C-alpha cells in the first residue's frame, strides 16, 4: 500500500504511509482489485458490444449491397420519364357507365400493353355487368373479366330466367385513392404514391405478402402468378392498374382509354380548366364509387351506377 | 466412470457430442437403440411426417407458390392461418406462464421451463410458415430493416415478433446456463411482448376497412384471448404427457400443473366465448357492407359446419369436461386442452375465411357469388402437419436431453398477497430449489457423451455416469 498512490492523490500531496494513512476512507488498491476487474470487464463488454453493433451494421450494409434497391433513397422503379414534370398535375379518370357497351376491348388492350397474364382472374381492369331484375334484385357478372364481351343473359347464379328491368356495364380499375390503404399497409414500402398522386408498385421491393390485395376495398390488386406473362417480367409481386403511367408521363392516353370505341373512359389533367376531362367533370358531375370506404377514390363514375345503393 | 472424450467433439450443455462422422453416427445409433420402442416409433412417425412436409415445402418454394389454393379474391389461406395459430400460441404460452415467472404465483411455476422451450419452437414454426408463404422472404428481411414502414401493422408485427424471438432465446439461455437475474428480466420482457405481439397481429387484420369482418378494435382483443387459450391448452397437453410418461418433475404435473391449466382454461373459455357471442350478435344485426354477409356465411352459410364444430367441439364440450366432476381425472383436462387447441386453430381458420368470404366485386368472374370460395391444397395441409411435427420433435428431444424440471423462478412483480417461498405451506413440496426431491430429469452430467447418455433406458431416466475417475 505504501508504495502505491491513493486513488485521486497527486504528487504534491503527502504520500500516505502504513502508519499514517492519508484518509481512512481510502480503500487499499488490493481490495479494489475485484472492483477494478469488474470495471474493466464491463468496459471490455461495452467495447465488445460496440464492436458487435458496428460489425452488425457493417455486415448489414454489406449484405444490403446485394439488394441495392433497398439502399436507394428514391423509389424510382417506375417507368418515369426523366423529362416528365409531375408538379401541378391532377390526373383524373372518368368512366361513363351509360356509354359503355361491354365490348371488352379495354381489357384486351390493357393485357397487351402491360404484359398482363392471360388468365381472366389476373387483370388490371375488367368490366362488370350489373343486371337489375324486375323483383328488385341486382346481379353482377363478369365472365372472363369481360374480355370477350357478354352473353345476352347474366351468368350470375340465380339470375337466369328472371325478367330484366335494367342493365349496364361498369368498367373497373384501380381507383388511385387519395387515402390509399394499400400504401399504408405495405410493410416494406413497395407500394407508393408518386408526386402526381398515382399509386405504383416497386416490383423489386415487393415481398408478395398479399396484404395490399386484401386491404384494397375495390378488389383492384392481385399477385402476379408464376409461369406466364408478368408485368415487368416479375412474377409473385403485387400488381394493379397504373393508369398506364409509362404512357401518361409521355403525354399519351392510357391504353384502355385510347382503345375505347365509345369514349366511355376519359382521362386527363383536371388542373387544366380547358382540358376535356375538366369539361366532362363539370358537365356530367361524376361521383366516386362507394365513397363510404373512406379511401377517397379518384376514378369517378357517371351514369346509372351512381344511382346504385 | 470416466466420460469418454472424443478428440473432435463439441460440448453441448452436459453432453460431449463427437463431430467426426463415424463416432457421431455410432453415438446416434447407440442413442436410438437405447430408446424405448414407443419413443422410437413416435420419433419415426414425426420424421416421416417431416420428410413428406419437406417435399411439400420444396415444391412451394418460389416460384412454386401456385400450389397454394389461394386466388386474387381469396389471397390469405391456410398458410396465414397456420402462421397466426403458431404465433399466438407462442404468446399464449408466455401469458399463462407469466403468472408464475413474473408474478411469482406458486401454482403456475411448473410452467416455466417447458413453456419457454415450447414458445421458441412455436415461434420458429410461425416464421418458417410465413417464409414459405411469402413470395420473396429475403426481401422482407432487408425491406423491413432498411425501409421501415411504421404505418403498416404488419411491419410492427415483424418488429414485435422478431424482438420476441430474441427475448425468448435469452430467456432459455439464461434459464439453462443459468443466469438468474437476466432470466428474471427476460421473463418480464417476454410476458410484456407477449401482449403486444398478438395485438399487432390482430391489428394486421383489424385495420382492414375493406374487410368488415376483420375491421375494428375487437380483433386485436380477440387475438390476445385466443392466444391465451391456445398457449394454456398446449401446456395442458404437454403436462398430461409429462404425467403420463413420468417425465421430469412428473409428480407436480397432476397435482399442480394440470389443475392450474384447468383454472386458466376456464378463464380463457369465458373470455373467448363472450367475444364470439359479441361478434356474431353484432355481425348479424349490422348493416355494414360485408359484415352481415360474412357473419351469415359463418353461422348459416358455407362456413357453418366448421363454425358449429368449433363451437361444440372447441368450446362447449371442453368446458363441460372442465366443469363436470370428471374434471378430477387428468384425462379430462388433457382432452379439454386438446379440444381447446383444436378449437382455437379452427376458430382462426374460420376467422380468416369469414373475413374474405364476402365478395367485394365481381372480380373478373372469379367470385362464386354470393360467397368467395377457397379450399386449402394438399401442399398447404402437409406443410402445416410438418410444422406441428417439427415442433413435436423438437420438444420431444428437449424433454429427453434438457433438464426440464422446475428451476428457480424469480418473483419480479409479486402481488402483495402472494406468499414468498419460505412462507409456503409445507404440504406444497414443489419448492423450486427443493434439494430433497431428486429430479428425474435428463442428465446433469458434465462430460457425458451422447453415446453414454444413450445408456439410459427411458426418457426420464437419470444418467448415472459421473465424472469421477
For the stretch B188-214, pLDDT in tens is: 899 999 999 999 999 999 999 989 999
Q: Residue B453 contacts by C-beta under 8 Å, 6 or more apart in sequence?
A: B15, B31, B401, B442, B443, B445, B463
pTM value > 0.90: no
Q: Judge whether B247 and B460 are in contact, CB under 8 Å.
A: yes
If asked whether residues A42 and A105 sit together in one domain, one would say no
Range with the largest mean pLDDT of A203-207, B17-21, B435-439:
A203-207
If asked whether residues A182 and A285 sit together in one domain, one would say yes
Mutation target among B201, B362, B369, B373 for the A interface, most CBs of A within 10 A: B362
pLDDT in tens, B255-310: 888 999 999 999 999 999 999 999 999 999 988 878 888 899 899 989 999 999 99
Q: Judge whether B96 and B24 are in contact, CB under 8 Å.
A: no
If asked whether residues A62 and A100 sit together in one domain, one would say no
B346 inside 8 A of chain A by CB: no
If asked whether residues A26 and A87 sit together in one domain, one would say no
C-alpha cell at position B67: 400450389
Question: Is A184 strand, coil or helix?
Answer: helix
CA of A219 vs chain B CAs: smallest distance (Å)? 6
Q: How far apart are CA B133 and CA B155, in angstroms?
A: 16
Residue A104 inside a domain? The answer is yes
CA of B86 vs chain A CAs: smallest distance (Å)? 18
**Which residues in chain A have their CB less than 8 angstroms from residue B140's CB?**
187-188, 207, 209
Is there a contact between A60 and B62 if contact means CB atoms under 8 Å apart? no
Q: For residue A30, what are the domain limits? A: 1-66
Any idea which of A39-53, A69-83, A174-188 has the lowest mean pLDDT? A69-83
CB-nearest to A172 from B135, B152, B361 is B361
If asked whether residues A2 and A84 sit together in one domain, one would say no
Q: Judge whether A75 and A192 are in contact, CB under 8 Å.
A: yes
Into how many domains does chain A fold? 2
C-alpha cell at position A270: 383536371
As a whole number, mean pLDDT of residues A22-51 equals 52
pLDDT at A24: 42
Residue of A298, A243, A306, A291 whose CA lies nearest to A98: A306
pLDDT at B6: 52
If asked whether residues A103 and A239 sit together in one domain, one would say yes
pLDDT in tens, A158-205: 788 888 888 999 999 999 999 999 999 999 999 999 999 999 999 999
Residue A138 inside a domain? The answer is no
Q: Which residues pair with A138 in a beta bridge?
A: A132
pLDDT in tens, B178-193: 788 888 889 889 999 9
B361 inside 8 A of chain A by CB: yes
Q: For residue A262, how many other CB atoms are within 10 A of its CB?
A: 11
Arithmetic mean of pLDDT over chain A? 82
B129 inside 8 A of chain A by CB: no
Q: Judge whether B225 and B274 are in contact, CB under 8 Å.
A: no
Residues B229, B232, B238: CA angle, nearest 5 degrees: 140
Could you give phi then psi for residue A168, rounded to 5 degrees?
-155, 160
Residue A137 inside a domain? The answer is no
Q: Judge whether B115 and B123 are in contact, CB under 8 Å.
A: no
CA of B385 vs chain A CAs: smallest distance (Å)? 22
CB-nearest to B134 from A208, A214, A294 is A208
- DSSP state, residue B65: G
pLDDT at B284: 93
If asked whether residues A103 and A49 sit together in one domain, one would say no
With 0-12 CB in 10 A as exposed, 13-18 as middle and 19+ as buried, what is A273? exposed
- DSSP state, residue B241: H
Q: For residue B351, how many other CB atoms are within 10 A of its CB?
A: 24
pLDDT in tens, A234-289: 899 999 999 999 999 999 999 999 999 999 999 999 999 999 999 999 999 999 99
Residue A36 in this model has a pLDDT that exceeds 60 = no
If asked whether residues A10 and A123 sit together in one domain, one would say no
If asked whether residues A202 and A93 sit together in one domain, one would say yes
Q: How far apart are CA B203 and CA B265, in angstroms?
A: 24
Name the pLDDT band for A45 (thresholds 50, 70, 90): low
Residue length, chain B? 469
CB-nearest to A186 from B152, B364, B365 is B152
CA of B172 vs chain A CAs: smallest distance (Å)? 21
pLDDT in tens, B79-131: 999 999 999 999 999 998 888 878 877 778 788 889 999 999 999 999 999 99
Q: Judge whether A243 and A93 are in contact, CB under 8 Å.
A: yes
Q: How far apart are CA A259 and CA A252, in angstroms?
A: 12
B365 inside 8 A of chain A by CB: yes
B70 inside 8 A of chain A by CB: yes
If asked whether residues A32 and A117 sit together in one domain, one would say no
Q: Which residues 62-81 of A are in CB contact (within 8 Å) with B?
A: 63-64, 67, 70-71
The structural domains of chain B, ordered by start, are 38-401 (1.20.1630.10)
**Enclosing H/E stretch for A204:** none
- How large is the C-alpha radius of gyration of chain B? 23
Residue A152 inside a domain? The answer is no
Nearest chain B Cα to A170, which residue? Answer: B362
Question: At which residue does the C-alpha cell 360474412 appear?
Answer: B294
CA of A53 vs chain B CAs: smallest distance (Å)? 15
Residue of A40, A48, A140 whose CA lies nearest to B370: A140
Q: Supply the DSSP string of A25-60, one letter for each residue.
A: T---HHHHHHHHHHHHHHHHHHHHHHHHHHHHHHHH
Residue A242: CATH number of its domain:
3.30.70.20
Q: Judge whether A89 and A133 are in contact, CB under 8 Å.
A: no
Q: Give counts: helices (H), strands (E), chain B.
A: 16, 3
pLDDT at A37: 41
- Region at B178 (left for phi over 0; alpha for psi -120 to 50; beta for the rest): beta
What stretches of B207-316 show up as alpha helix (H) in DSSP?
A: 218-244, 250-252, 258-284, 291-300, 304-311
Residue of B192, B168, B145 whose CA lies nearest to B413: B192
If asked whether residues A229 and A253 sit together in one domain, one would say yes
If asked whether residues A53 and A91 sit together in one domain, one would say no
* Domain finish residue from A25, A44, A66: A66
Amino acid at each position: 500500500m505504501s508504495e502505491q498512490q491513493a486513488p485521486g492523490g497527486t504528487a504534491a500531496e503527502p504520500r500516505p504511509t502504513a502508519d499514517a494513512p492519508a484518509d481512512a476512507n481510502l480503500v487499499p488498491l488490493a481490495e479494489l482489485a475485484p472492483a477494478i476487474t469488474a470495471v474493466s470487464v464491463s468496459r471490455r463488454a461495452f467495447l465488445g458490444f460496440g464492436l458487435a453493433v458496428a460489425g452488425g451494421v457493417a455486415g448489414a450494409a454489406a449484405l444490403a449491397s446485394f439488394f441495392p434497391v433497398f439502399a436507394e433513397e428514391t423509389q424510382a422503379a417506375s417507368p418515369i420519364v426523366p423529362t416528365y414534370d409531375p408538379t401541378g398535375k391532377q390526373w383524373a379518370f372518368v368512366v361513363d357507365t351509360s356509354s359503355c357497351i361491354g365490348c371488352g376491348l379495354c381489357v384486351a388492350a390493357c393485357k397487351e400493353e402491360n404484359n398482363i397474364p392471360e388468365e381472366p382472374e389476373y387483370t388490371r381492369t375488367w368490366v362488370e355487368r350489373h343486371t337489375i331484375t324486375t323483383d328488385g334484385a341486382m346481379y353482377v357478372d363478369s365472365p372472363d373479366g369481360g374480355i370477350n364481351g357478354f352473353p345476352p343473359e347474366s351468368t350470375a347464379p340465380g339470375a337466369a330466367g328472371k325478367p330484366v328491368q335494367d342493365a349496364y356495364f361498369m368498367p373497373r380499375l384501380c381507383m388511385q385513392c387519395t387515402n390509399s390503404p394499400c400504401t399504408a399497409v405495405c410493410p416494406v414500402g413497395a407500394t407508393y404514391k408518386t408526386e402526381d398522386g398515382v399509386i405504383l408498385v416497386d416490383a423489386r421491393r415487393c415481398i408478395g405478402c398479399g396484404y395490399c390485395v386484401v386491404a384494397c376495398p375495390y378488389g383492384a390488386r392481385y399477385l402476379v402468378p408464376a409461369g406466364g406473362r408478368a408485368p415487368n417480367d416479375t412474377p409473385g409481386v403485387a400488381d394493379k392498374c397504373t393508369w398506364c403511367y409509362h404512357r401518361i408521363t409521355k403525354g399519351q392516353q392510357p391504353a384502355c382509354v385510347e382503345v375505347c370505341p365509345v369514349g366511355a373512359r376519359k382521362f386527363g389533367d383536371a388542373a387544366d380548366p380547358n382540358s376535356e376531362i375538366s369539361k366532362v367533370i363539370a358537365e356530367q358531375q361524376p361521383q366516386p364509387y362507394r365513397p363510404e370506404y373512406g379511401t377517397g377514390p379518384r376514378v369517378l363514375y357517371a351514369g346509372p351506377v351512381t344511382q346504385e345503393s | 466412470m470416466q466420460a469418454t472424450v472424443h478428440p473432435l467433439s463439441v460440448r453441448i450443455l452436459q453432453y460431449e457430442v463427437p463431430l467426426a462422422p463415424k463416432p457421431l453416427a455410432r453415438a446416434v445409433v447407440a442413442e436410438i437403440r437405447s430408446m424405448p420402442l414407443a419413443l422410437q416409433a413416435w420419433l419415426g412417425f414425426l420424421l416421416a411426417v417431416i420428410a413428406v412436409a419437406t417435399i411439400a415445402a420444396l415444391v412451394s418454394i418460389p416460384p412454386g407458390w401456385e400450389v397454394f389454393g389461394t386466388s386474387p379474391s381469396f389471397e390469405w389461406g391456410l398458410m396465414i392461418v397456420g402462421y397466426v395459430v403458431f404465433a399466438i400460441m407462442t404468446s399464449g404460452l408466455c401469458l399463462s406462464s407469466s403468472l408464475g415467472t413474473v408474478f411469482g404465483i406458486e401454482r403456475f411455476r411448473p410452467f416455466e421451463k417447458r413453456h419457454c422451450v415450447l414458445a421458441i419452437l412455436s415461434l420458429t414454426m410461425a416464421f418458417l410458415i410465413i417464409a414459405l408463404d411469402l413470395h420473396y422472404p429475403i426481401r422482407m428481411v432487408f425491406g423491413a430493416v432498411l425501409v421501415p414502414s411504421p404505418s403498416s401493422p404488419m411491419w410492427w408485427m415483424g418488429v414485435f415478433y422478431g424482438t420476441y424471438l430474441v427475448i425468448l432465446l435469452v430467456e432459455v439461455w439464461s434459464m439453462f446456463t443459468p443466469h438468474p437475474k437476466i432470466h428474471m428480466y427476460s421473463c418480464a420482457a417476454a410476458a410484456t411482448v407477449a401482449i403486444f405481439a398478438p395485438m399487432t397481429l390482430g391489428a394486421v387484420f383489424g385495420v382492414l376497412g375493406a374487410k368488415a369482418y376483420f375491421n375494428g378494435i375487437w380483433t386485436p382483443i380477440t387475438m390476445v384471448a385466443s392466444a391465451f387459450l391456445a398457449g394454456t391448452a398446449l401446456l395442458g397437453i404437454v403436462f398430461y404427457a409429462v404425467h403420463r410418461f413420468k417425465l421430469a418433475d412428473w409428480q407436480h404435473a397432476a397435482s399442480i400443473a394440470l389443475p392450474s391449466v384447468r383454472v386458466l382454461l376456464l378463464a380463457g373459455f369465458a373470455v373467448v366465448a363472450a367475444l364470439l357471442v359479441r361478434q356474431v350478435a353484432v355481425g348479424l344485426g349490422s348493416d355494414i357492407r360485408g359484415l352481415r354477409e360474412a357473419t351469415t356465411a359463418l353461422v348459416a352459410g358455407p362456413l357453418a359446419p366448421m363454425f358449429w364444430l368449433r363451437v361444440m367441439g372447441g368450446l362447449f364440450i371442453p368446458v363441460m369436461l372442465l366443469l363436470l366432476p370428471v374434471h378430477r381425472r387428468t384425462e379430462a383436462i388433457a382432452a379439454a386442452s386438446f379440444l381447446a387447441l383444436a378449437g382455437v386453430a379452427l376458430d382462426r381458420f374460420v376467422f380468416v375465411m369469414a373475413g374474405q368470404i364476402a365478395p367485394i366485386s365481381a372480380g373478373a368472374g372469379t367470385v362464386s357469388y354470393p360467397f368467395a370460395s377457397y379450399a386449402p391444397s394438399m401442399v398447404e395441409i402437409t406443410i402445416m402437419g410438418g410444422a406441428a411435427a417439427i415442433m413435436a420433435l423438437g420438444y420431444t428431444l428437449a424433454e429427453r436431453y434438457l433438464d426440464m424440471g422446475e428451476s428457480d423462478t424469480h418473483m419480479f412483480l409479486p402481488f402483495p398477497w402472494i406468499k414468498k417461498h419460505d412462507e409456503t405451506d409445507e404440504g406444497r413440496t414443489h419448492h423450486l430449489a427443493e434439494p430433497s426431491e431428486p429430479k428425474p430429469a435428463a442428465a446433469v452430467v458434465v462430460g457425458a457423451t451422447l453415446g453414454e447418455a444413450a445408456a439410459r433406458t427411458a426418457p426420464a431416466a437419470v444418467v448415472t455416469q459421473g465424472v469421477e475417475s
